[in-house]
């Protein structure tokens, strides 16, 4: 009697385990290999899943789709059209789907996934276009144009020779050197870029920005972090709602604004340019060549302390001022260097101003 009871109770358990095993084993992997030549194209579009791309020197493209559920096999397409390899997967039940691909390094790559990570191992000698609905993107060097977007992950990129466009809804962005112009944006992360061989447009809704030297103009914006730029040849526009601004080796003009930080600017003014540095709650330190031909107007709000005999120390300079005005609630000092020329305006509401020679 006891044996029958045990048998009757074990039978459903055994059936349950076996059915679970059968369910798990219904997922399968699919592989294909194609003969290709250098300079071809890889196009991938999948509804979900991680994508890993490796490069090699073989004249082959190898594709492996992992964990494809039986019901989703009809939604998997892997084929070759000339020197183009196409991978498409629109299945909804394969939650653990992943794609692994190996192609020649001299290939153009166009990838999109609805919600996974993208990882490119090896350098790509071609154009690269990557998009994911919400994963991280990691890329090595790219020899041509690069376009990357993710709905909310981090982006890490090596060196890029071509024009570069990177965007994420809320992650960090890190890039090594770029030999052409670059456009970057993130909804709330830090941005770090090496040297740039062209102009730069960079924005984050709430992180720090660190940029090397830009061979052109630079526009850098953050809603709440620090901004650092090591050099630029052109117009520099920087804005932060609450951080410090550090600008070195700028040959051109500067428009810098911060609501609550200090501003340091090392400037070689271009001829007939206008520069303006404004902070609502910090100090301004401007460094100029001794032979710079500029007109400077430096203003500090002093309020009711305008008659204080030490108030003039709020603006210090290695250059001799031409006029000092304390008649209003502002201390205003004007400077004409080497006969005058380009215009520089410095304004702080509650800090100090220093103007130094290089």
- pLDDT reported for residue 5: 42
Count helices and strands (H / E) in the chain. Answer: 1, 31
Structure confidence at residue 305 (pLDDT): 66
| 317-338: pLDDT as tens digits | 999 999 999 877 899 999 999 9
pLDDT (average), residues 110-135: 97
Q: What is the mean pLDDT of residues 94-116?
A: 97
User: What span, in angstroms and rounded, lies between the C-alpha atoms of 315 and 300?
Assistant: 8
- Decide if pLDDT at 12 tops 60: no
Least confident of 77-81, 225-229, 302-306, 314-318: 302-306
Residue 350 pLDDT > 90: no
**Per-residue model confidence (pLDDT) at position 116:** 96
Q: Is the pLDDT of residue 16 over 60?
A: no
Mean pLDDT of 272-279: 97
Which one is predicted more confidently, 20 or 45? Answer: 45
- The pLDDT of residue 195 is 98
* Residue-level pLDDT at 147: 98
Quick: pLDDT tens for 185-224.
999 999 999 999 999 999 999 999 999 999 999 999 999 8
Q: Pick the more confident residue, 309 or 35.
A: 35
Confidence of residue 8 (pLDDT cuts 50, 70, 90): low
Asked if residue 36 has pLDDT above 50, the reply is yes
Q: Sign of the C-alpha dihedral, residues 78, 45, 132, 228? A: positive
For the four alpha carbons of 310, 316, 318 and 324, in that order, the dihedral sign comes to negative
Cα angle for residues 158, 177, 238 (degrees, 5° grid): 120
Tell me the pairing of strands 118-121 and 98-104: unpaired
Residue-wise DSSP of 307-324: T-TTGGGGEEESSPPSEE
Cβ neighbors of 129 (< 8 A, separation 6 or more) are 109, 110, 111, 146, 147, 148
Q: What pLDDT, in 10s, does the model give residues 80-95?
A: 999 999 999 999 999 9
22: three-class secondary structure by DSSP: helix
Half-sphere exposure of 103 (CA within 13 A, CB side): 31
DSSP track, 143-154: SS-EEEEESS--
Distances (CA, A) of 41 to 89, 127, 275, 287: 18, 9, 47, 51
281 has pLDDT over 50: yes
Please state, for a pLDDT cut of 70, what percent of the chain lies above it: 92
Average pLDDT over residues 117-127: 98
Sequence-ordered list of residues with C-beta below 8 angstroms from that of 190, at least 6 positions apart, any chain: 172, 173, 204, 207, 208, 209, 210, 225
42-67-37 Cα angle (round to 5)? 20
């Amino acid at each position: 009697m006891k044996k029958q009871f045990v048998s009757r109770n074990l039978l459903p358990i055994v059936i349950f385990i076996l059915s679970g095993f059968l369910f798990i084993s219904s997922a399968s992997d699919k592989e294909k290999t194609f003969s290709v030549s250098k300079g071809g194209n890889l196009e991938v579009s999948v509804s979900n899943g991680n994508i890993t791309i490796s490069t090699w020197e073989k004249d082959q493209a190898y594709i492996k789709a992992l964990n494809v559920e039986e019901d989703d096999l009809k939604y998997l397409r892997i084929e070759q059209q000339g020197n183009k390899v196409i991978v498409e997967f629109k299945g909804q039940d394969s939650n653990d789907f992943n794609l692994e691909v190996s192609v020649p390094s001299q290939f153009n790559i166009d990838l999109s996934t609805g919600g996974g990570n993208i990882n490119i191992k090896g350098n790509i000698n071609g154009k690269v276009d990557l998009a994911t609905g919400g994963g991280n993107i990691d890329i090595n060097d790219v020899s041509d144009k690069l376009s990357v977007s993710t709905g909310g992950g981090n982006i890490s990129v090596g060196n890029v020779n071509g024009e570069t466009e990177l965007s994420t809804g809320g992650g960090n962005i890190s890039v090594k050197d770029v030999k052409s112009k670059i456009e970057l944006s993130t909804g709330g992360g830090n941005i770090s870029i090496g040297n740039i061989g062209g102009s730069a447009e960079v924005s984050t809704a709430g992180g720090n920005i660190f940029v090397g030297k830009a061979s052109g103009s630079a526009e850098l914006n953050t809603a709440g972090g620090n901004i650092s730029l090591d050099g630029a040849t052109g117009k520099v526009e920087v804005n932060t709602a609450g951080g410090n601004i550090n600008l070195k080796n700028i040959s051109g003009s500067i428009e810098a604004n911060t609501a609550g930080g200090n501003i340091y600017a090392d400037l070689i003014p271009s001829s007939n340019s206008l520069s303006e540095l404004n902070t609502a709650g910090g100090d301004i330190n401007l460094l100029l060549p001794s032979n710079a031909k500029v007109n400077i107007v430096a203003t500090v709000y002093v309020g009711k302390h305008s008659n204080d005999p030490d108030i003039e120390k709020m603006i210090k300079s290695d250059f001799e001022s031409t006029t000092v005005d304390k008649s209003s609630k502002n201390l205003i000092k004007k400077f004409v260097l080497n006969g005058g020329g380009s215009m520089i305006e410095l304004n702080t509401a509650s800090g100090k101003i220093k103007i130094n020679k290089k």
